[in-house]
Amino acid sequence: MELLNNILEYVGLFFVLLGSIFLFLGALGIYRMPDIYDRLQAGTKASTLGAMSVTLGVGLLQPDWLIKIIVIILFIGISNPLSSHALARASYHSGIVPFFKNKIDAYENVVKKVKKKH
């Protein structure tokens, strides 16, 4: 039982450290990237993984709290990609062009088709 507790503690500390490193990398991407779409890519993916990993590590360190921690992890995994999708869509519709010029813009035709229908 003592050994199991020690293993759980080390695994939890590893997950907390990994998650904080990923949060730091996500924020660095937010600060350094040249363009809003790149910023969304760097910020959302890395920070989602970081927050999920930190919460999972705390849940392993303190196994009494594990149920509510799992609820938080599921909610972050559903809500954060959804909000980043809404932000990317909003910034495309408000007319921000990408920093690196695209050769193919597939979403442009979809927007035109929807506008023609209305």
Partner 1 sequence: MNIVLYISMILISIAAFLAFLRFVKGPSASDRAVALDTLSIIGIGAIVLLGYIFQRYIYIDLALVYAVLGFIGIIVIARFIEKAL
**Interface ranges with partner 1 (CB under 8 A):** 13, 16-17, 19-21, 23-24, 26-28, 30-31, 36, 39-40, 43-44, 47-48, 50-51, 54-55, 58, 61-62, 65, 68-69, 71-72, 75-76, 79-80, 82-84, 86-87, 89-91, 93-94, 96
Question: CA-based Rg of the chain, rounded to a whole angstrom?
Answer: 20
| Of residues 75 and 105, the one with the C-beta less far from partner 1 | 75
Rounded to whole angstroms, how far apart are CA atoms 65 and 85? 31
| Of residues 46 and 103, the one with the C-beta less far from partner 1 | 46
Residues in the chain: 118
Q: What minimum distance in Å lies between the beta carbon of 77 and partner 1?
A: 11
Q: What minimum distance in Å lies between the beta carbon of 113 and partner 1?
A: 18
| Of residues 93 and 109, the one with the C-beta less far from partner 1 | 93
3-state secondary structure 40-52: HHHHHHHHHHHHH
CB 26, CB 43: distance < 8 Å = yes
Q: What minimum distance in Å lies between the beta carbon of 39 and partner 1?
A: 5
Angle between helical axes of 66-93 and 36-61 (0-180°, round to 10): 180
Q: What minimum distance in Å lies between the beta carbon of 75 and partner 1?
A: 6
First to last CA, the chain: 66
